[in-house]
């Protein structure tokens, strides 16, 4: 029976099935999404570049392959968006900055090449916090992205444009980057699913580096199953990224429906206690749902001797060096809040930096130890929901819910777990290194038992 929903609201897997089955063409789907972008994005501001002409050409090419029975794979003809810190050949990539507004890369980033090789249709480039250095996506050069659930609030960041595009039905999926939570915080605040894969699983060549030892590229989509499908496409060796793993992509989508009964989960009590009351209540309900699926729970607390602040020194120092090289030391075009954050990284001594690297390694060891007897760790994704639009959220510097797992490098998934006063909130699922498949399986099982990820913003045809 054909899906009765408008094409723009199909998930990634649903769209792939419709295209493969012939009930929908890539051109029909792409045209529907472009029409929705034209109608809604002036208010949402999720996109900084809409690649309409090339997207329509890619859709037509996909339909021709389908007619000739030469489909390239499950994502052939499925549209997706790309964060504007990831290079796209022939289309401006500004990295959220004024200085690079006219920058046109000559080559696609590694992940974009993999999407194109799979036949995906690239809809456009999504807005980001300036230089991806913030969690509100209030960009002084490209304007703020607005949260589809409440237009007075931000969608999280720095991949806020990608999350808002998915939440508003302007893309079934999008790529983001995550250095301190920049995929997972927008997933939490915008009510979508977002994965930070294991460090090194997804190659970063052609994505503007922020903090090389913390940077990840990951998918944002409507479900954990859709994240698994996109991860299968973008994961795999990247010879030009020295941190990329040589291993091939796993079969993340194939095993996502396996039973989770018998798995063991540790509840990160510190992060639960730090959350606002409404989010704590949703988290308790999420834990009960997982227990109902046969997942056993126990409590885990962060070891007192960890030094997350020290690890942040290493991160900020690397970030300063990266941006200094990018701008030749001239930060005059960068907004003051970002310059202030860069200044923090400029003053670290060599001893501070080395001790920060040691602190990061200790965090990785502690999280790995916690997962020796457990399959996953669980926490609220962030302690509060989306807030009014603002250039910078100073609490982000002290909130470890997301950034701890950039330091640890473990895979971390956020899926919707409910709403607080009409605003979404997310459940975070953290797994063992290279065991992204189990993280996605737990997220999928939770979504099969709940319907939070199926909710759309009010009046989806007239969000604002």
Query: What pLDDT score was predicted for residue 451?
Result: 98
Cis amide bond preceding 109, omega within 30: no
| 160 contacts 130 by C-beta, under 8 angstroms | no
Query: What pLDDT score was predicted for residue 2?
Result: 45
| 267 contacts 298 by C-beta, under 8 angstroms | yes
Q: Which helix (H) or strand (E) holds 218?
A: strand 216-221
Distance, in Å, from the CA atom of 348 to the CA atom of 361, rounded to the nearest integer, reads: 18
Residue 22: exposed, middle, or buried by beta-carbon count in 10 A (0-12, 13-18, 19+)?
exposed
* The pLDDT of residue 243 is above 50: yes
What is the average per-residue pLDDT within 50-73? 98
Query: What pLDDT score was predicted for residue 370?
Result: 98
Q: 376: which strand partners?
A: 265, 431
Query: What pLDDT score was predicted for residue 462?
Result: 55
Which sequence positions are flagged as catalytic?
83, 158, 182
What is the average per-residue pLDDT within 163-167? 98
For 72-126, how does the pLDDT look when each residue is reduced to its tens digit (9 = 90+)? Answer: 999 999 999 999 999 999 999 999 999 999 999 999 999 999 999 999 999 999 9
Q: 125: which strand partners?
A: 49, 82
Query: What pLDDT score was predicted for residue 5?
Result: 76
SS3 25: coil
For 290-336, how does the pLDDT look when each residue is reduced to its tens digit (9 = 90+)? Answer: 999 999 999 999 999 999 999 999 999 999 999 999 999 999 999 99
Burial letters 399-429, b for 16+ CB under 10 A, else e:
bbbbbbbbbbbbbbbbbbbbbbeebbbbbbb
Strands annotated E in 367-460: 376-380, 412-420, 423-431
Query: What pLDDT score was predicted for residue 188?
Result: 98
* The pLDDT of residue 464 is above 80: no
| Per-residue confidence band for 166, with pLDDT thresholds at 50, 70 and 90 | very high
Residues of the chain with pLDDT > 90, as a percent, come to: 93
| pTM score above 0.75 | yes
Query: What pLDDT score was predicted for residue 461?
Result: 52
Residue 369: exposed, middle, or buried by beta-carbon count in 10 A (0-12, 13-18, 19+)?
exposed
Distance, in Å, from the CA atom of 11 to the CA atom of 55, rounded to the nearest integer, reads: 18
SS3 175: strand
Cα–Cα nearest to 233, from 402, 369, 118, 381: 118
Task: Specify the CATH number of the domain 7-306+356-454.
Answer: 3.90.1300.10
Which of the pair, 311 or 397, is modelled with greater confidence? 311
What are the distances in angstroms from CA 303 to CA 171, 312, 363, 370, 442? 40, 17, 9, 10, 25
What are the distances in angstroms from CA 37 to CA 44, 165, 166, 350? 9, 8, 11, 48
| Per-residue confidence band for 248, with pLDDT thresholds at 50, 70 and 90 | confident
| Per-residue confidence band for 251, with pLDDT thresholds at 50, 70 and 90 | confident
* The pLDDT of residue 3 is above 70: no
């Amino acid at each position: 029976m054909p899906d009765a929903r408008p094409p723009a609201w199909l998930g990634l897997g649903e769209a792939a099935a419709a295209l493969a089955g012939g009930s929908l063409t890539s051109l029909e789907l792409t045209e529907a999404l472009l029409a929705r972008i034209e109608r809604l994005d002036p208010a949402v501001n999720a996109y900084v570049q809409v690649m309409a002409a090339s997207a329509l050409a890619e859709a037509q090419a996909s339909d021709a392959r389908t007619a000739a029975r030469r489909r390239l794979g499950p994502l052939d003809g499925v549209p997706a968006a790309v964060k504007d810190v990831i290079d796209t050949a022939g289309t401006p990539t500004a990295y959220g900055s004024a200085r690079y507004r006219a920058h046109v890369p000559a080559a696609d980033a590694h992940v974009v090449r993999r999407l194109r090789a799979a036949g995906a249709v690239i809809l456009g480039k999504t807005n980001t916090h300036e230089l991806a250095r913030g969690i509100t996506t209030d960009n002084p050069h490209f304007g703020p992205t607005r949260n589809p659930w409440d237009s007075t609030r931000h969608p999280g960041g720095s991949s806020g444009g990608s999350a808002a595009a998915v939440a508003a039905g302007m893309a079934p999926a999008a790529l983001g980057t995550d250095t301190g939570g920049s995929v997972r915080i927008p997933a939490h605040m915008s009510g979508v699913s977002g994965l930070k894969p294991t460090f090194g699983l997804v190659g970063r060549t052609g994505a503007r580096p922020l903090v090389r030892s913390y940077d990840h590229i990951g998918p944002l989509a409507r479900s954990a199953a859709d994240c698994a499908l996109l991860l299968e496409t973008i994961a795999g060796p990247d010879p030009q990224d020295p941190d990329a793993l040589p291993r091939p992509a796993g079969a993340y989508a194939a095993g996502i429906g396996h039973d989770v009964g018998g798995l063991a989960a540790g509840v990160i009590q510190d992060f639960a206690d730090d959350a606002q009351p409404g989010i704590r209540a949703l988290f308790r309900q999420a834990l009960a749902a997982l227990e109902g699926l046969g997942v056993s729970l126990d409590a885990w607390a962060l070891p007192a001797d960890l030094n997350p602040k020290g690890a942040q020194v290493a991160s900020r120092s690397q970030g300063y060096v990266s941006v200094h090289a990018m701008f030749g030391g001239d930060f005059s075009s960068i907004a003051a809040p970002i310059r202030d954050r860069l200044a923090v990284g400029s003053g670290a001594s060599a001893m501070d930096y080395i001790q920060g690297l040691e602190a990061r390694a200790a965090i990785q060891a502690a999280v790995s130890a916690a997962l020796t007897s457990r399959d996953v760790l669980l926490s609220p994704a962030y302690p509060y929901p989306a807030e009014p639009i603002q250039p910078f959220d100073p609490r982000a510097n002290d909130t470890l819910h997301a950034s701890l797992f950039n330091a640890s490098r473990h895979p971390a998934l956020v899926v919707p777990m409910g709403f607080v006063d009409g605003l979404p909130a997310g459940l975070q699922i953290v797994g063992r290194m290279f065991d992204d498949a189990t993280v996605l399986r737990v997220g999928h099982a939770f979504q099969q038992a709940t319907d939070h990820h199926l909710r759309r913003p009010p009046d989806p045809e007239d969000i604002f």
